[in-house]
Each structure stands twice: as C-alpha cells, then as structure tokens.
Amino acid sequence: MKFSDLSGVMKKTSLTIDTIENPFEHYYIIRMNIPDGMKWVAGEHGLFFLPNRRVKQLQKFRPFSVASIPEEGKVIIGIKTKEPLSSFKKELITMQKGEEVTVRGPFGWFKIQDSKSPIVLFASGVGITPIRALFNQIATDSSRPVHLVYVSNDYHLFKSELEKIAAENAQMTIQCLKNRTEASSALAALSKQYGNQAYYYISGSGKVISSVKKTLKSKQISGKRIITDPFFGY
Ligand SMILES: Cc1cc2nc3c(=O)[nH]c(=O)nc-3n(C[C@H](O)[C@H](O)[C@H](O)COP(=O)(O)OP(=O)(O)OC[C@H]3O[C@@H](n4cnc5c(N)ncnc54)[C@H](O)[C@@H]3O)c2cc1C
C-alpha cells in the first residue's frame, strides 16, 4: 500500500439508496444512485456512513468494497450479515429507496496492475465484491488469460452474472467451488501454469488471505505478484 492509495479518503460523497436485494439468507446487494461525475477505479473501497440513521455502535461507519464500475452508473455493494446482526447492518438493510448514504473515498490498492500479465483472481465468500468490479473492468480484454477461483461454503453472490461475463470472453474462466481444499488445488494448478508471469489478486477475510498467500509463496510466487484485499471485521 502506498500513501497515495489513501488520498481519496478525504472526499465525501452523498449517495441515495436505489434497491436492496436479499438473494440468499444473510447476503444482500445494495445499489445506490450516484451524483454526476462520481469516479472510482475498479477494486477500490469506501467508508460508508448512514447520516440519518442511529447506529448504536462506537464505530459509525463500515468499509465496503465497491462491487461495480463507474460505467454501471451505480455504486453497488454486497454484504453478508452475521448473527447477532450489528446495529450498523440492521440500519443499512432496512433503508428505503431515496435514503441517504455518505461515502468517504473511494480509495485503495486492489487494482489491475498492468495491461499484459495473466490474471488469477481468488475470492472467498463475500470477498467477491471487489473482484466483481475487476471482472467487469476486464470483461472485454481478450488479450490475456483471466481465471477466477471463487470459494464459498454457502452461497456464491453474483455467480450468474460472473459466469455470463466469462462465457462471452474465451480467455476467461470461472470456478465456483464449495470447499477450501478444492480451491487450494485450483490455485496450485494455476500458479504452476503461470508462475511469476501472472498477478494474483486475493480477497476475503484476513485469515483466508494469509493462508492463500502462504500457498502461493510455497509455489515460489513472489510477494510482488500477490495483491490482497483483507476484509478486516470478519
Ligand atoms: C477494505 C475492506 C473492504 C470490505 N468490504 C466488505 C464488503 O464488500 N462486504 C462486507 O460485507 N464486508 C466488507 N468488509 C468488512 C466490513 O467492513 C465489516 O467489518 C464486516 O462486514 C462486519 O461488520 P458488521 O457490522 O457485521 O459487524 P461489526 O459490528 O463490525 O462486528 C464484528 C463482529 O462482531 C459481532 N457482533 C456485533 N455485535 C455484537 C454483539 N452485540 N454481541 C456479540 N457479537 C457481536 C458481529 O456478528 C460481527 O461478526 C470490508 C472490510 C475492509 C477493511
């Protein structure tokens, strides 16, 4: 992470709720309307505040990755709730169309590094959110291989739209897997195939990231080729 990766945190933007979808049990997709000219880079995240709701917790905001790209015209986030439901998420998932959300940022470092290297994406659970954005950004790039390994033990958020993107680009593959052992072997096979030519993007809880990083390093993948987005808080 570089200091410039954080510069966007000084910006504050007002968004409004468009839709809140609950596709499966604890998973939610929240779409927000944006003001004209709002820009961000695929893979960035923001600090989200609910200015007109009473969050009964010390920390009044949550960092969330932006799952969309500016061309979609909305900020989309994907969240997973846990029991007990936090006060912040209780307020967030009960918001109505038109209610205000403010965001500081977006900012971050989980971005496409160059225009040539093969890309290996690894998402665990709701860690798919920034990877959805990266996948959309490179959807029409057929100049290099792009492989997504997506592991979740209960539900694969955004699965059908990601599969549709992959089906339309001969260079893209997607594997939606249910357990970590399968995901580790899929990743091991990709790291064997591409070695240090590829960039490896990993998104998920801090624990998952450490373990995937360890696997990659044991396959002699340099730390410089591994880009991570740890979801602290899980
Ligand atoms: C860069 C970054 C990107 C992120 N992107 C996403 C994203 O795209 N989607 C996403 O869902 N999350 C994302 N996160 C994580 C997110 O910011 C939150 O930390 C996470 O969602 C948990 O928030 P929470 O409000 O559910 O739990 P918190 O209130 O933060 O509490 C943490 C844990 O404590 C438990 N808890 C809460 N209240 C109580 C209580 N009274 N008694 C006992 N236990 C309790 C909760 O169940 C939860 O498991 C990201 C984090 C980072 C740093």
Tell how far the Cα of 12 is from the centroid of ligand 1, in angstroms. 21
Q: Among 40, 64, 90, which is best to mutate for testing ligand 1, by the most ligand atoms less than 8 A from CB?
A: 64
List pLDDT tens digits, range 65-80.
999 999 999 999 999 9
Helices (H), the chain: 87-93, 128-137, 159-167, 180-194, 206-218
Residue 3: predicted pLDDT: 55
Is residue 86 lining ligand 1, measured as CB closer than 6 Å? yes
Torsion of CA 104, 37, 146, 230, to 10 degrees: 0
Residue 17: predicted pLDDT: 98
Query: What percent of the chain shows pLDDT beyond 90?
Result: 91
Is residue 64 lining ligand 1, measured as CB closer than 6 Å? yes
Of all protein residues, whose CA lies closest to atom 27 belonging to ligand 1? 86
Q: Which residues of the chain have pLDDT under 50?
A: none
Tell how far the Cα of 234 is from the centroid of ligand 1, in angstroms. 6
User: What's this model's pTM, rounded to 2 decimal places?
Assistant: 0.94
Structure tokens at 30: 């929240």
Is residue 82 lining ligand 1, measured as CB closer than 6 Å? yes
Residue 231: predicted pLDDT: 80
Is residue 78 lining ligand 1, measured as CB closer than 6 Å? yes
Atom of ligand 1 nearest to the CA of 84: 47
Of all protein residues, whose CA lies closest to atom 50 belonging to ligand 1? 231
Tell how far the Cα of 59 is from the centroid of ligand 1, in angstroms. 11
Q: Among 5, 31, 66, 231, which is best to mutate for testing ligand 1, by the most ligand atoms less than 8 A from CB?
A: 231
Q: Quick check: 14 and 98 in contact, CB under 8 A? A: no
Nearest-CA neighbor of 40 among 77, 6, 79, 69? 69
Of all protein residues, whose CA lies closest to atom 4 belonging to ligand 1? 64
User: What does the buried/exposed string (b/e) look like for 25-45 if buried means 16 or more CB atoms within 10 Å of the residue's CB?
Assistant: ebbbbbbbbbeeebebbbbbb
List pLDDT tens digits, range 119-150.
999 999 999 999 999 999 999 899 999 999 99
Residue 150: predicted pLDDT: 98
Is residue 77 lining ligand 1, measured as CB closer than 6 Å? yes
Is 164 exposed, middle or buried (CB count within 10 Å of its CB: 0-12, 13-18, 19+)?
A: exposed
Q: How many residues does the chain have?
A: 234
Residue 161: predicted pLDDT: 97
β-sheet bridge partners, residue 78: 29
Residue 7: predicted pLDDT: 62
Atom of ligand 1 nearest to the CA of 83: 47
